[in-house]
């Protein structure tokens, strides 16, 4: 991965420290999962769940294993496909245990290690570990009884070995629900996308066309207030009302109310989390409920479909684009598509 500079993670990766007998593990190709991009901010430290190679590999196995569901048929990957940037390509999934349509679109899982604003579309979980418990236990998703999950996994000899390796003797060892969440979170924090054509340009290893350069200027003027380019993450990790609706019904657990559902603050009504704009070619349909099927529909919404309300983001009042600006912006957004991310064999089982 040309765009990535491997840096030392010795403090966080005790299993990879320079100790006798560890040399073979350091040659494992999966060590590439632990790389951090040189042009990204430093990853926030997760002191309660430091990343180890063993933990990441265990988390990867768990992510693709339907054994984690109540009927042993649904895995995390059922709604998060690697080739779709860990989205699923549908507006509202019906692939969960109950078969009922979920109320929100399955978000792509991209660069989660840098996420500091909370998880889910409304920010209802403050960290990856607590976020995982939601889909794992929800009856319409994986429907797992978390009280019995550890006992079920303990019947599998490979899991017994892997959990012991990932969580050696200490305060919290072996197979437990807590360690399931920790291992999954460790794997999900390695899902780094940083090798798109845009990244090659930033690292002075590639160039932009005239059209792409124009599109980046349009992006900086029209989109960067929420999808900041300063960090190269293309999200401000915040919550915004982007004018999809102007009424917010209380039914279905107040899903339509967005961030207000969590904070109870009137200024948060209708606000939803800012997703990254990386890998848009693979993550359609768009918005928190998947209502917009294409990027053209997204731009149509911002041009003429915005519904005013008290909490509408002020920046969206000036989103109209000329035909040339629109063409250039789409060209620039296409430079954020990272084929090496969606086709990375290390992300797959």
| pLDDT tens sequence across 266-305 | 999 999 999 999 999 999 999 999 999 999 999 999 999 9
Q: Which of 193, 222, 239 is the last residue of a domain?
A: 193
| Structural domains counted in the chain | 2
List, for residues 190-222, the tens digit of each pLDDT value: 999 999 999 999 999 999 999 999 999 999 999
Residues 171 and 247 in one domain: no
Residues 156 and 237 in one domain: no
The answer to whether residue 347 is domain-embedded is no
List, for residues 62-96, the tens digit of each pLDDT value: 999 999 999 999 999 999 999 999 999 999 999 99
> Dihedral angle at the C-alpha atoms of 18, 20, 24, 25, nearest 10 degrees?
-50
pTM of the model: 0.90
Other CB atoms within a 10 A radius of the CB of residue 291 amount to 15
Phi first, then psi: give them for residue 34, nearest 5 degrees. -90, 5
List, for residues 129-171, the tens digit of each pLDDT value: 999 999 999 999 999 999 999 999 999 999 999 999 999 877 5
Give the pLDDT of residue 21.
40
- What is residue 54's three-state secondary structure? helix
Residues 146 and 241 in one domain: no
Bridge partners of residue 241, in order along the sequence: 312
Give the pLDDT of residue 319.
78
Predicted confidence band of residue 317 (pLDDT cuts 50, 70, 90)? confident
Query: Any idea what the CATH number is for the domain that residue 217 is in?
Result: 1.10.760.10
Residues 45 and 189 in one domain: yes
Give the pLDDT of residue 16.
33
Residues 163 and 203 in one domain: no
Bridge partners of residue 119, in order along the sequence: 125
Please, what is the Cα angle at 94 between 89 and 98, to 5 degrees?
Answer: 155
Residues 212 and 151 in one domain: no
Residues 186 and 201 in one domain: no
Give the pLDDT of residue 342.
98
Residues 157 and 217 in one domain: no
Residues 163 and 311 in one domain: no
Range of the domain at 106: 14-193
Count, in order, helices (H) and strands (E) of the chain. 13, 2
The answer to whether residue 6 is domain-embedded is no
């Amino acid at each position: 991965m040309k765009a990535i500079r491997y840096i030392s993670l010795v403090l966080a990766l005790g299993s990879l420290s320079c100790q006798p007998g560890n040399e073979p593990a350091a040659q494992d190709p999966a060590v590439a999962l632990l790389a951090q991009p040189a042009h990204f901010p430093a990853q926030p430290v997760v002191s309660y769940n430091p990343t180890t190679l063993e933990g990441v590999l265990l988390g990867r196995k768990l992510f693709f294993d339907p054994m984690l569901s109540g009927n042993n048929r649904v895995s995390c990957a059922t709604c998060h496909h690697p080739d779709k940037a860990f989205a699923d390509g549908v507006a509202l999934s019906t692939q969960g245990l109950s078969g009922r349509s979920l109320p929100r679109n399955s978000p792509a899982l991209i660069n989660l290690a840098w996420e500091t604003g909370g998880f889910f579309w409304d920010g209802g979980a403050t960290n990856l570990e607590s976020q995982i418990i939601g889909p794992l236990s929800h009856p319409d998703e994986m429907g797992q009884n978390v009280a019995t999950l550890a006992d079920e996994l303990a019947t599998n000899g490979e899991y017994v070995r892997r959990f012991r390796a990932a969580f050696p003797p200490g305060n919290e060892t072996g197979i437990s629900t807590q360690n399931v969440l920790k291992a999954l979170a460790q794997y999900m924090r390695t899902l780094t996308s940083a090798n798109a054509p845009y990244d090659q340009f930033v690292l002075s290893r590639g160039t932009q066309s005239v059209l792409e350069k124009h599109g980046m200027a349009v992006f900086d003027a029209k989109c960067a207030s929420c999808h900041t380019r300063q960090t190269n993450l293309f999200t401000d990790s915040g919550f915004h009302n982007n004018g999809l609706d102007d009424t917010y019904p209380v039914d279905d657990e107040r899903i339509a109310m967005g961030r207000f559902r969590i904070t109870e603050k009137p200024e948060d009504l209708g606000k939803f989390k800012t997703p990254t704009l990386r890998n848009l070619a693979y993550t359609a349909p768009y918005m928190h409920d998947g209502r917009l099927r294409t990027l053209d529909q997204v731009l149509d919404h911002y041009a003429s479909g915005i519904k005013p309300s008290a909490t509408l983001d002020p920046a969206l009042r000036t989103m109209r684009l000329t035909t040339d600006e629109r063409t250039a912006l789409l060209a620039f957004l296409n430079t954020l598509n990272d084929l090496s991310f969606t086709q990375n064999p290390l992300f797959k089982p």
